[in-house]
Amino acid sequence: MRNFWITFKKPIYALAPMAGISDSAFRQICQSFGADAVFSEMISATAIVYNSKKTLELARFDRKAERPFVAQLFGSKPEHFAYAAEFITKKIKPDGLDINFGCPVKKVARQGAGAVLMNDLKLAREIVKAVLGATNLPVSIKCRSRVGAITVLDFLKTIKDLPVAAVMIHGRSLAQGHSGEVDFTIIKQARKYFSGIILANGGVKDEASAEEMLKKTEADGLGIGRGALGRPWIFKQFSIFNFQFSNKEIFETALKHTSLAHKLKGKQGIIEMRKHLCWYVRGLDNASELRKKLIQVESLSDVKNIIKSQITNTKLQTNYKFK
């Protein structure tokens, strides 16, 4: 299978996996603004083994509007990873598979999954081998700069001989969680132990932080997480000098995103959009007044009415075309 990771012009800008956030609607919006690759929310390998329909839904994607699409698996049992990798490869046909070695959430850690796997390099290697053996898709991994005494460098040394296509390194330790300083140096050192694509991740929220991360890590690209929340045009911002985005464009994007979420998930999509809508209006003059309304929306027409009242003189476009 084609290794799409090596086909990009560098730097590569990917939407990082975010549970509860990076669903198909959000991924499509980010790709319409130029995200090079998008990751799914994390998908439980064990739940795939037990045939959970709800979990499988997390792996579904739009074959036209979301390419390349990478499905991310989490779990702790190599045999579950092998089953889920083969199942998703055959049934869902994503462009790549990713393994989660970075999640700090307690519920995940209690199952021995996510970042805590970096503490057990033997098991981590078995998991990578299990996935590689079960799929012909390019396999990537997402890990942390450090978990306890184990660094990403130890981790990469352990899998050096395996044909892993890409690694996204969150430059914060497990102890740091999702905040605090990013270790640029260790990401730069990763190149000594890994010959595939390296994506640096953590704290990129604008052109300046992207430039700093790329310069200090010499990575092939970046994984963008929270920097894209309510700001999916961040991907366009990276490629256009002095990029401007008007309030009207912000509202249009929010409506486009909501219409898509509604199309894909119905009323549940609108409920899930509430947080995104609040992120879209962040920084606007009347943000707090708008947030009070947006947090209560129940339907697509509720959202349209609020947004229309913000752009009274502009006819809002509702038939959006996605890339």
Residue 202 makes contact with ligand FMN by CB under 6 A: yes
Contacting residue, 25, 42, 65, 88, with ligand FMN by CB under 6 A: 42
Residue 137 or 169 with smaller CB distance to ligand FMN: 169
Q: Is 37 in the site for ligand FMN (CB under 6 A)?
A: no
**Closer Cβ to ligand FMN, 21 or 124, answer by number:** 21
Under the binding rule (CB under 6 A), the answer on residue 227 touching ligand FMN is: yes
First to last CA, the chain: 23
Using CB under 6 A, which of 225, 230, 232, 269 touches ligand FMN? 225
Between the alpha carbon of residue 245 and those of residues 33, 223, 289, the distances in Å are 12, 22, 21
> CB-based burial of residue 200 (10 Å sphere; 0-12 exposed, 13-18 middle, 19+ buried)?
buried
Number of residues that bind ligand FMN (CB under 6 A): 23
Long-range contacts of the stretch 201-207 (C-beta < 8 A, 24+): 201/16, 201/142, 201/168, 201/169, 201/170, 201/171, 201/225, 202/170, 202/171, 202/172, 203/171, 203/227, 205/231, 205/234, 206/234, 206/237, 207/237, 207/238
Binding mask of the shown chain, residues 73 to 112, with x at each position contacting ligand FMN by CB under 6 A: ---------------------------x-xx---------
Tokens of 62: 């739009």
CA distance 301 to 288: 21
Q: Judged by CB, which is closer to ligand FMN: 17, or 94? A: 17
CA distance 226 to 22: 10
Instruction: Tell whether residue 21 is a contact of ligand FMN (CB under 6 A).
Output: yes
Site string for ligand FMN, 155-184 (x = CB under 6 A): ---------------x-------x------
Least Å from the CB of residue 117 to ligand FMN: 12
Q: Of the ranges 85-93, 223-231, 244-252, 293-301, which one interacts with ligand FMN (CB under 6 A)?
A: 223-231
Name 252's Cβ contacts closer than 8 Å, sequence gap at least 6: 311, 316, 317
Selected binder of ligand FMN within 18, 37, 84, 199 (CB under 6 A): 18
CB of 72 to ligand FMN, least distance (A): 6
Cα 243 to Cα 250: distance, rounded to the nearest angstrom: 13
- Minimum distance of ligand FMN from residue 316's CB (angstroms): 29
Q: For residues 206 and 289, which CB has a smaller minimum distance to ligand FMN in the complex? A: 206
Give, in degrees to the nearest 5, the angle at Cα 87 between 46 and 108.
Answer: 25
Residue with nearest beta carbon to ligand FMN = 225
**Contacting residues for 5 by C-beta, under 8 A, at least 6 apart:** 12, 37, 96, 138, 140, 165, 166, 196, 197
237 sits near ligand FMN (criterion: CB under 6 A): no
Q: Closer CB to ligand FMN, residue 17 or residue 221? A: 17
| Site for ligand FMN, rule CB under 6 A | 16-21, 41-42, 72, 100, 102-103, 142, 170, 178, 201-204, 224-227
